[in-house]
Amino acid sequence: MDQFIEQIITGLSIGSILLLVALGLSIIYGSMGIINLAHGEFVMLGAYAAWVFHTYLGLGLLASLVPIFLVVAAFGWVIERFVLSLLNNRPLDTILATWGVGIMLQQAVRLMVGSELRYVQLPPALSGSMELFGLSVSSYRMFLFIVSLALFAATWLLMNRTTVGMKLRAIIQDRSVAASFGVNAKRVYALTFAYGAGLAGLAGALVSPLKSVSPDMGTGYVVDAFMVVVLGGVQSLAGTVASAFILGELSGGIAFLQNDTVAKAIVLLAIVVLIRFRPEGLFTARVRA
């Protein structure tokens, strides 16, 4: 029984990291239709930002979260303005362009800080562990779980309860009609992309104490995040949450029964089959065309 609960908790922990990484991607893909292959590099930038703030400015991880969000969001804004906004009518080409951008970011970091692994310290207040259902759980993982849900809530509110969110939803439904009502689509797109990038940066900063930081750390995340978004359904934030935890539990469970490789292969195959039969994802209600 203990083992079962432990498995569930491991799954939730994997799931919360997946959610953190996938949230930004879900916003960008769902609202702009851009397959952002540079997403993993935004995660990596966030992790490096955490390392830089800590090493050179002596800031703790928690104190630097807001600046990290802003820095990576600024990167996202620039990339949207100068690269992606030129590709409005060529969605397939955004895959290529963002991949090129990803290579550049990765290589620039490698040239500037070197490719050796970097480590970010756990915040001292969260380095211990706590009791949960009679099991000891790392406080930091618990913290990640709560933060991922909080960020999801914030994003949901932003999308559904603010003017910017309303404008964005209007553009998603019909860009030209929204534009003729005075919505500045370019500006909203740039802000959306920046927000998504900022979220990815936060994700990178938050996972940096758990994993080592390296220029190519993003590659793994981007694939996982895509699977979450595809499984959850493109335009459904709640679906993203559900699928993040489903995938988390699944990978945790299969990895426990078999091994990591088999877990990964099975999850990928399941997603391939899912795309074929339900390309709109598991949790999307039919959207009006």
Partner 1 sequence: MSLNGSTSNGLQRLTAQLAPLLIVCALVFALPVLLNNDFLLNKVARYLVLGILTISLGLSWGFGGILNLGQAMSFGLGSYAMAMALKLKTIPVHTGASGLPDFMVWNNVQALPWFWVPFRSLPFAIAAGMIVPALVAAALGWFMFRGRVTGVYVSIITLATMVVINLVIIDQQSYTGGFNGITDLAQLEIFGVAFDAYGRATYYLVAGCMMLSLLVAFAFTKSRAGLIVQAIRDHESRVRYFGYDVALYQIFVFALSAAIAGLAGMLYTVVMEFASPTFLGVQLSLSVVVWCAVGGRQSLVGSFLGAVLVAGMQGALSESAAFLETWTLVMGALFVLVVLFLPKGLAGLAQVVWRWIVQRRQAAGGVAQGVGQTEGST
Binding positions for partner 1, rule: CB under 8 A: 35, 83, 86-87, 90-93, 95-97, 99-104, 107-108, 110-111, 219, 223, 226, 230, 259, 261-262, 264-265, 268-269, 271-272, 275-277, 279
Rounded to a whole number of angstroms, the minimum distance from the CB of residue 93 to partner 1 is 5
Please report how close the Cβ of residue 230 comes to partner 1 at its closest, in angstroms.
7
The residue behind tokens 């499984």 is 231
Closest approach, Cβ 252 to partner 1, in A, equals 18
Nearer CB in complex with partner 1: 110/169: 110
- What's the farthest any 2 CA atoms get from each other in the chain? 60
- In eight-state DSSP terms, residue 118 is B
**Choice between 128 and 220, CB closer to partner 1:** 220
Nearer to partner 1, 158 or 271 (CB): 271
The DSSP code for 126 is G
Per DSSP, the residues of 183-251 read --HHHHHHHHHHHHHHHHHHHHHHHTTTS-B-TTTHHHHHHHHHHHHHHH-TT-HHHHHHHHHHHHHHH
Which is nearer to partner 1, 124 or 279 (by Cβ)?
Answer: 279
Complex with partner 1: residue 128 or 279, whichever CB lies closer: 279
List 282's β-bridge partners, or say none.
Answer: none
Closest CB to partner 1 among residues 108, 132: 108
CB of 219 to partner 1, least distance (A): 8
> Which residue, chain included where needed, has tokens 């979450």?
228
CB of 18 to partner 1, least distance (A): 16
The distance of closest approach from Cβ of residue 185 to partner 1 in the complex, given in angstroms and rounded to an integer, is 19
Q: Which residues contact 196 (CB under 8 A, 6 or more apart)?
A: 24, 25, 27, 28, 36, 39, 76
**Interatomic CA distance for residues 49 and 199, integer angstroms:** 13
